[in-house]
């Protein structure tokens, strides 16, 4: 197995762990943590392909990963602001209880 | 001979490494350098503790410790023995794993910053291309350790102290980064060895240190303010203010763990002063061109101890800032001045050599500072001092 | 596949698993920090030094602290009465397992076609700077506007509403 395949497998594993957490946990903040793990796994994929790809001197993969880090930080900030605002209104962050649009 | 004295530690390391087989020499060299750093800076910590207690005492019109040894010189050893032999009390409801790991993480991240500081000619542990970025990354990790300490103690005072400390450190981290970016812009590299090399030139005997330029002086003042706030020193020491919060985030720590927090705070002070001397005061270069025969590491450590003395001086002189006052100060005054400083540095670069750029850049900075200060002071109605006595 | 790779992989996967499984929310956030540190070590192993240090500075120095503050402000450190996993946890786990199976099959199936070990690219920070101002100046400016908008938006969303008319 080539080194690149190893990195891609680890990235896929972290991605699915993050996805499992985002889909099964009740607390809204833990869903956001799962999303951050998924974004990080995608970054690992990008850097691995940049390193073992055909033209690393073009820096495409590294640039993409750096912009992805910046955008993920912005998204985490806004998402957590939303969670705090919801908590102020509904007094809970339990996603199973936020079902007023159901049925 | 002078060159040998300058490179004495490098030659010592080469001599020690030459005893081993060729395959082990690389790793052994790095290990010896790292061990030297881990031994030298705690020794300097003992000196700094003594200096602080005597210095503060004298500034407060009292003698410092003077019983243990002549002039109290053995006091740090007594303090060390005391903290090592005290009982290690952990609260019953505290989170034991996090409570244990917090001081460890703090000390580890504080020591990591020394890996990129050039302490003399050819005396840097790792010459990273993105050295300054590595330093700030380690500084950012320190905040998490502070939070872990405060939260794991399950104590309202600790948590409050930790939240205040983290909010303060995050605000001043931005100021620290922006005031260092000006130096990076003018030196053209993030590598600290190249920044020192760029300052190691002399005109008519005077050095080209960045503090001797208008934008460099402004950036150094803002860097110094941010450095005192990052290490939670007076006048920004509300998180550990003894009269307010018992002891802030290290309330529930006793014995060796408290000594580790203390060590971590002083080591962070050394490392941030080291970075300040590297960026603004020319690192290991001599102040005048006729003094270059003095070894470079002597200059670096003298500048470092001078900065520590200024820290102690500020602690003994200035009153504490309230939390909202210090956050206000950071975001509304220092940050706009940092951004203006960046533009002034760009103007400096594009005006070319000559006396005109000195005049223009100094004028812009002084006018901005005076203008903002005047507009802030106008809002405060400072009347005559009034007293209320208890009846 | 060297020993260093396996050690870092073990650290990262353990951190990720712990952050999704633990009951105490603050422990989850701290395990997430371990996962971020593991990823930064991966980046350093892949000779992407700038990305590695930027990961530590942004994720551990800012995002982890943001998550921890949000947990404290929403009283997340008290363990909930009904358990920490939602009622439909089996479906979520099945979906995640299916995604991993598909990705894993794709990787292993195309493994012989992937490029092998190549020499390390020598990337200096100056090249990254030139690329940011040269080829990628439009994304740079857009990210600047995006960050400003996110900053203002987050402050407005999380701000206390003033009493009375506003």
Cβ contact, residue pair A70, C73, below 8 Å: no
Degrees to nearest 5, angle at CA A42 with A39 and A44: 115
Q: Find how far residue B89's CA is from the centre of its chain.
A: 30
When pLDDT is cut at 50, 70 and 90, the band that residue A2 belongs to is confident
- Measured distance CA(B45)–CA(B261) in Å, rounded: 12
Of the listed ranges B159-163, B309-313, B360-364, C147-151, the least confidently predicted one is B159-163
pLDDT value, residue B247: 63
Q: How far apart are CA B101 and CA B95, in angstroms?
A: 10
What number is the average pLDDT over the span B12-31? 85
Interface test with B, best of C61, C68, C78 (most B CBs within 10 A): C61
From B141's Cα to the closest Cα of chain C, the distance in A is: 5
Kindly indicate the confidence band of residue B244, based on its pLDDT and cuts at 50, 70 and 90.
Answer: low
B183, B191 Cβ separation under 8 angstroms: no
ipTM of this complex: 0.91
Kindly report the three-state secondary structure assignment for every residue of chain C.
CCHHHHHHHHHHHHHHHHHHHCCCHHHHHHHHHHHHHHHHHHHHHCCCHHHHHHHHHHHHHHHHHHHHHHHHHCCCCCCCCCCCECCCHHHHHHHHHHHHHHHHHHHHHCHHHCCCCCCCCCCCHHHHHHHHHCCCHHHHHHHHHHHHHHHHHHHHHHCCCCCCCC
What is the token pair recorded at B185?
């812009």
Decide: B161 and B154 in contact? Cβ < 8 Å: no
Q: How many CA atoms lie within 13 A of B359 on its CB side?
A: 3
Which of residues C75 and C135 earns the better pLDDT score?
A: C135
Q: What is the pLDDT of residues C1-55, one digit of tens each?
A: 689 999 999 999 999 999 999 888 899 999 999 999 999 999 999 989 999 999 9
What is the pLDDT of chain B when averaged over all its residues?
88
What percent of chain B lies above the pLDDT cut of 70? 97
Q: What is the mean pLDDT of residues B303-311?
A: 94
What pLDDT shows up at residue C81?
A: 67
CB-CB under 8 Å, A63 with C59: no
pLDDT bucket at C164, cuts 50 / 70 / 90 = very low
Q: What is the average per-residue pLDDT within A50-74? A: 90
pLDDT band with cut points at 50, 70 and 90 for residue C166:
very low
Q: How is residue B335 written in tokens?
A: 């940050």
* pLDDT over 90, % of chain B: 42
Is pTM beyond 0.95 here? no
Residue-wise burial string across B133-168, b where 16 or more C-beta atoms lie within 10 A, e elsewhere: bbbbbbbbbbbbbbbbbbbbbbbebbbbbbbbbbbb
Distance from CA of A61 to the nearest CA of C (A): 10
Instruction: State how beta strands B202-203 and B206-207 pair.
Output: antiparallel
B373: pLDDT strictly greater than 90:
no
For A3-97, CATH number? 1.10.287.3510
**Interval A26-35: pLDDT, tens:** 889 999 999 9
- Shortest CB distance from B147 goes to which of C54, C65, C77? C65
Interface test with B, best of C68, C79, C128 (most B CBs within 10 A): C68
Which pLDDT value is given to residue B222? 95
pLDDT digits (tens, 9 = 90+) for A68-98: 999 999 999 999 999 998 888 888 878 877 7
**Yes or no, beta carbons of A15 and C100 under 8 Å apart:** yes
Which of C 87-146 lie inside 8 A of B, CB atoms?
124-126
pLDDT at position A18 is 95
- Residue extents of the structural domains in chain A: 3-97
pLDDT for C74 equals: 84
Judged against a pLDDT cut of 70, whether residue C78 lies above it is answered with no
Whether A46 contacts A65, CB under 8 Å: yes
Which of the 8 DSSP states describes residue B329?
I
Can you give the pLDDT at residue A99? 77
Average pLDDT over residues B321-327: 84
Q: At the topology level of CATH, where does C1-80 sit?
A: 1.20.120
Provide the pLDDT confidence category of residue B38 given band limits of 50, 70 and 90: very high
């Amino acid at each position: 197995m080539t080194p690149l395949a190893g990195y891609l497998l680890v990235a896929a594993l972290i991605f699915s762990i993050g996805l499992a957490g985002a889909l099964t946990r009740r607390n809204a903040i833990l869903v956001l943590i799962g999303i951050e793990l998924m974004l990080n796994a995608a970054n690992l994929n990008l850097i691995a392909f940049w390193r073992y790809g055909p033209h690393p001197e073009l820096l495409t993969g590294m640039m993409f990963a750096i912009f992805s880090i910046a955008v993920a930080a912005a998204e985490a900030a806004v998402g957590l602001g939303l969670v705090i605002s919801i908590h102020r209104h509904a007094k809970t962050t339990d996603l199973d209880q936020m079902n007023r649009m159901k049925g | 001979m002078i060159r040998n004295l300058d490179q004495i530690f490098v030659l010592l390391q080469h001599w020690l490494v030459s005893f081993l087989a060729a395959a082990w020499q690389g790793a052994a060299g790095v290990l010896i350098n790292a061990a030297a750093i881990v031994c030298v800076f705690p020794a300097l910590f003992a000196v700094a503790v003594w200096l602080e207690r005597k210095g503060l005492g004298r500034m407060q019109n009292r003698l410092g410790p003077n019983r243990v040894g002549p002039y109290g010189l053995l006091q740090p050893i007594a303090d060390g023995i005391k903290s090592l032999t005290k009982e290690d009390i952990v609260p019953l409801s505290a989170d034991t794993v996090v409570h244990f790991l917090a001081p460890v993480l703090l000390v580890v991240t504080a020591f990591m910053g020394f890996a990129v500081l050039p302490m003399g000619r050819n005396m840097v542990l790792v010459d990273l291309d993105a050295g300054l970025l590595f330093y700030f990354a380690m500084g950012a990790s320190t905040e998490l350790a502070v939070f872990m300490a405060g939260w794991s103690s399950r104590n309202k005072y600790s948590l409050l102290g930790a939240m205040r400390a983290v909010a303060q450190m995050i605000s001043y981290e931005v100021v620290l980064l922006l005031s260092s970016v000006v130096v990076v812009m003018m030196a053209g590299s993030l590598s600290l060895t190249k920044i020192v090399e760029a300052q190691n030139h002399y005109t008519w005997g005077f050095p080209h240190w960045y503090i001797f330029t208008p934008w460099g002086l402004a950036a150094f003042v803002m860097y110094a303010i941010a450095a005192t706030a990052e290490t939670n020193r007076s006048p920004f020491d509300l998180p550990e203010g003894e009269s307010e919060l018992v002891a802030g985030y290290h309330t529930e720590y006793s014995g060796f763990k408290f000594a580790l927090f203390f060590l971590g705070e002083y080591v962070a002070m050394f490392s941030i002063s080291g970075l300040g001397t590297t960026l603004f005061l020319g690192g290991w270069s001599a102040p005048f061109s006729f003094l270059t025969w003095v070894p470079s590491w002597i200059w670096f450590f003298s500048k470092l101890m001078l900065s520590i003395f200024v820290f102690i001086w500020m602690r003994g002189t200035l009153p504490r800032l309230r939390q909202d006052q210090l956050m206000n100060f950071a975001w509304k005054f220092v940050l706009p001045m940092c951004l203006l400083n960046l533009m002034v540095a760009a103007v400096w670069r594009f005006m070319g050599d000559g006396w005109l750029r000195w005049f223009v850049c100094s004028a812009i900075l002084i006018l901005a500072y005076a203008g903002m200060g005047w507009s802030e002071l106008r809002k405060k109605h400072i009347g005559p001092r009034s007293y209320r006595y208890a009846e | 596949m060297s020993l260093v790779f396996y050690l870092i992989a073990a650290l990262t996967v353990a951190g990720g698993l712990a952050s999704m499984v633990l009951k105490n929310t603050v422990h989850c956030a701290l395990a997430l920090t371990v996962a971020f540190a593991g990823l930064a070590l991966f980046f350093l192993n892949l000779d992407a030094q700038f990305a590695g240090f930027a990961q530590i500075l942004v994720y551990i120095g800012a995002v982890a602290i943001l998550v921890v503050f949000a947990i404290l402000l929403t009283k997340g450190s008290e363990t909930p009465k009904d358990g920490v996993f939602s009622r439909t946890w089996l479906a979520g786990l099945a979906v995640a397992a299916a995604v991993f199976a598909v990705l894993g099959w794709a990787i292993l199936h195309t493994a012989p076609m992937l490029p092998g070990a190549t020499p390390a690219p020598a990337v200096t920070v100056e090249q990254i700077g030139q690329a940011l101002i040269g080829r990628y100046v439009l994304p740079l400016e857009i990210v600047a506007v995006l960050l400003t908008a996110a900053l203002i938006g987050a402050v407005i969303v999380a701000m206390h509403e003033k009493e009375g008319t506003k």
